[in-house]
Structure 1
Amino acid sequence: MNQRRNTVLYIASSLDGYIATKEDSLEWLFKVEGEGDNGYTEFYETVDTILMGKRTYDWIIQEMEEFPYKNKECYVFSRSSYEDTENVKFIHEDIKSFVNKLKNKDGNNIWVVGGGELLHSFIQENLVDEFIITLAPTIIGNGIPLFKEGNYQLDLSLKGIKRFNQFVELSYVKKNPLLDKTILK
């Protein structure tokens, strides 16, 4: 029997809960003094599949000299039809059924890279198993929120805390109601 793969959000956020400015800038993030690669390599080795939205993909293509996920299976969710590239496959099908198919395949963790729209869909469909959020000691006032307003509630349990100089990484997993119940005698 194979074990279901976990879907993990691994992302950085400002202290006030934004993942980028309204202009999609991450300049505020790169000004923060970290430690090494802030745990990125360690995390990256635990995943073999990358999921992202089209807006995040476009930012990566525009801002980075080279596609950073060449050695991983990479899917980009889009409402429009695009031709697959050597690095990514574009997905237009139902998010929940597609992700559940991935989770039932053998493999390592599945990384939800972003962005906010895709994450919102994943949360609404209860598809994220673990949240690893690295907080930067920066308040940017407005921008693209990590969590969009919505009609949902997720109960999480703290798995761990790591510090990388000025960054703090918080790791949460979904609570398992069966494990959280105690029997009163």
Structure 2
Amino acid sequence: MNRKVVAFIASSLDGYIATENESLEWLFNVEGEGDNGFSEFYETIDTVVMGKRTYDWVMYQEAGEFPYKDKKCYVFTRSSATDTEHVTFVNEDVYHFVQKLNQHKGKNIWLVGGGELLSGFIQEKLIDEFIITIAPTIIGKGIPLFKAGDFTLDLSLKGTQHFNQFVELHYEVK
């Protein structure tokens, strides 16, 4: 099992991934460097996993043009949805889903978000690494990076990088 599930995500300094109305404007106002390490990370994956709300947000931001066409993409949803040319919709428990993915050789799996799906993956101990890019912004309230829950996860720092005003923290789950 050489594939890893990696949560690669940006957060405000106070731990939010978006405002209450799902805006990331605060993130785009920070001066980064290049693409803040995205391209380098993107080369390490061949599979993208996200929740339906994140998918809808991405499609809205990209004006309907799916940005991850060169990767296998799965979107978790509780409602019925028809697969598209680039996306397979999934309505099953995350544990068995990841077990099935790991039966196939490949590159790493990117858990894009959002908060609900991330929480489910954490509770099932399915995440191998966290790459969290911190923006020097405090937004006060919004959608938290980590939901409160009955779980603990011990991490080990693999490294840090900075991209102008952003700091990337790279953790491995012990």
Q: Is the 8 A contact 1:46 1:108 kept in 2?
A: yes
Structure-2 residue corresponding to 1:181: none
Q: Specify the SS of the correspondent of 1:104.
A: coil
Cα displacement (A) at 1:61: 1.0
Specify the alignment match of 1:122 in structure 2. Answer: 121
Aligned equivalent of 1:100: 99
Distance in 1 (alpha carbons) for counterparts of 2:127 and 2:43? 19
Q: Which digits, 9 at most, give the CA deviation of each residue in 1:75-130, with x for residues without a partner? A: 00011111000110000012110111112310000000000000000000000000
Q: 1:156 and 1:100 mapped to 2: Cα distance?
A: 22
How many residues get paired? 173
SS at match of 2:39: helix
- 1:55 is matched with which residue: 50, 53, 56? 53
Write the distance in 1 (CA, Å) between the matches of 2:94 and 2:149: 18
- 1:34–1:164 CA contact under 8 A, matched in 2: yes
C-alpha separation in 2, matches of 1:103 and 1:40: 23
CA distance in 1, matches of 2:12, 2:102: 30
- How large is the Cα RMSD of the aligned pairs? 0.7
Q: TM-score, normalised by structure 1?
A: 0.92
Aligned equivalent of 1:13: 11
* Deviation (angstroms), 1:63: 1.3
SS at match of 1:13: strand
Query: Which position in structure 1 is the counterpart of 2:30?
Result: 32
Partner of residue 152, structure 1: 151
Residue of structure 2 in register with 1:111 after alignment: 110
State the Cα deviation string for residues 11-56 of structure 1 (Å, max 9, x = none): 0000000000000000000000000000000000000000000000
The 3-state SS of whatever aligns with 2:134 is strand
Q: Secondary structure at the match of 1:170?
A: strand
Identity rate, percent: 68
8 Å contact kept, 1:12–1:135: yes
Q: Normalising by structure 2, what TM-score?
A: 0.98
Whole-Å Cα distance in 1 between the matches of residues 108 and 54 of structure 2?
Answer: 20
Matches of 1:158 and 1:26, distance apart in 2: 26
- For the residues of structure 2 that align with 1:94 and 1:18, how far apart are their CA atoms? 25
Instruction: Supply the AA of the counterpart residue of 1:19.
Output: I
